Amino acid sequence: MTKKEEQYKMRKWQILDIALNHFIQFGYYGTSTRKIAEEAGISSGLMFHYFPNKLALYESLVEIGCEKLTIDSGEGESPLLFFERQVEWFLSVATQNNFASRMFVFMGLVAINAKDISERVAQMMREHDVETMSVPYIEKGQELGVIRQGDPLTLSVLFYSSIQGFAETLVARDNLKLPEKEWFLAILKNDNKE
Amino acid sequence: MTKKEEQYKMRKWQILDIALNHFIQFGYYGTSTRKIAEEAGISSGLMFHYFPNKLALYESLVEIGCEKLTIDSGEGESPLLFFERQVEWFLSVATQNNFASRMFVFMGLVAINAKDISERVAQMMREHDVETMSVPYIEKGQELGVIRQGDPLTLSVLFYSSIQGFAETLVARDNLKLPEKEWFLAILKNDNKE
DNA sequence: TCTAATATTAAGCAACTGCTCAACATTTGT
DNA sequence: ACAAATGTTGAGCAGTTGCTTAATATTAGA
What is the per-residue pLDDT across A1-13, written as a single tens digit (0 to 9) for each? 677 788 899 999 9
Is A1-52 CATH 3.40.50.11540?
A: no
Nucleotides of D under 7 A from a protein CB: 6-12, 16-22, 27-29
pLDDT at position A194: 46
pLDDT at position B175: 85
Mean pLDDT, residues B172-178? 89
- Mention every residue, 6+ apart, whose C-beta is less than 8 A from residue A113: A28, B25, B172
CB-CB contact of A171 with B116 (8 Å): no
Query: Which residues on neighbouring strands pair with residue B147, listed in sequence order?
Result: B189
What is the percent of chain B with per-residue pLDDT over 70, rounded to a whole number? 96
| C-alpha distance from B1 to closest chain A C-alpha (Å) | 41
A44: CB within 7 A of chain D nucleic strand: yes
Cα separation, B102 vs B105, whole angstroms:
5
DSSP designation for B189: B
Cβ distance B153 to A176 less than 8 Å, yes or no, reads yes
pTM: 0.92
Cβ distance B112 to A29 less than 8 Å, yes or no, reads no
Residue nearest to nucleotide C10 (CA to C1'): A43
| C-alpha distance from B9 to closest chain A C-alpha (Å) | 30
pLDDT at position A2: 74
Window B:128-167, CB contacts with A under 8 Å: 131, 148, 150-151, 153-155, 157-158, 160-166
Backbone angles phi, psi at A147, to 5 degrees: -115, 140
- Mention every residue, 6+ apart, whose C-beta is less than 8 A from residue B158: A162, A166, A179, A183, A184, B187
Sign of CA dihedral B113, A118, B171, A80: negative
What is the percent of chain B with per-residue pLDDT over 90, rounded to a whole number? 75
The number of helices, as runs of H, and strands, as runs of E, in chain B is 11, 0
Nearest nucleotide, C1' to the C-alpha of A2? D28
Cβ distance A166 to B165 less than 8 Å, yes or no, reads yes
Residue of B nearest to A131 (CA): B169
Would you tell me how many other CB atoms lie within 10 Å of the CB of residue A169? 21
CB-CB contact of A101 with A93 (8 Å): yes
Nearest nucleotide, C1' to the C-alpha of A55? D18
Window A:7-46, CB contacts with B under 8 Å: 25-31
Q: If you count residue pairs, one on A and one on B, with CB atoms under 8 Å apart, how many are there?
A: 134
| C-alpha distance from A177 to closest chain B C-alpha (Å) | 6
Q: Which of B169, B119, B12 is nearest to A113 (CA)?
A: B169
Backbone angles phi, psi at A55, to 5 degrees: -60, -40
Per-residue pLDDT of B135-159, as tens digits, reads: 999 999 999 999 999 999 999 999 9
Distance A7 CA to D30 C1' (A): 23
CB-CB contact of B25 with B87 (8 Å): no
Q: Where are the domains of chain A?
A: 1-52, 59-194
Q: Which of A180, A165, A162 is nearest to B184 (CA)?
A: A162
CB-CB contact of A35 with A22 (8 Å): yes
CB-CB contact of A55 with A117 (8 Å): yes
* pLDDT at position B111 over 80: yes
End-to-end CA distance of chain B: 65
Residue numbers of chain A with a pLDDT score lower than 70: 1, 192-194
| Contact A179/B at CB under 8 A | yes
Mean pLDDT, residues B60-75? 85
Cβ distance B183 to A148 less than 8 Å, yes or no, reads yes
Query: Which residues on neighbouring strands pair with residue A147, listed in sequence order?
Result: A189
Calculate the dihedral angle through the C-alpha atoms of B96, B97, B99, B101, rounding to the nearest 10 degrees. 60
Cα–Cα distances in angstroms (integers) from residue B95 to residues B89, B90, B167, B171, in the given order = 11, 9, 10, 10
pLDDT at position B174: 82
* pLDDT bucket at B1, cuts 50 / 70 / 90: low
Would you tell me how many other CB atoms lie within 10 Å of the CB of residue B57? 22
Fold of B59-194: Tetracycline Repressor; domain 2 (1.10.357)
Window B:38-97, CB contacts with A under 8 Å: none
Of A172, A176, A183, the CB nearest to B187: A183
Cβ distance B27 to A25 less than 8 Å, yes or no, reads no
pLDDT at position A9: 93
Q: Which of B34, B58, B166 to mutate to test the interface with A (most CBs of A within 10 A)?
A: B166
Cβ distance A113 to B187 less than 8 Å, yes or no, reads no
- Mean of the per-residue pLDDT values of chain B: 92
Cα separation, B12 vs A144, whole angstroms:
56
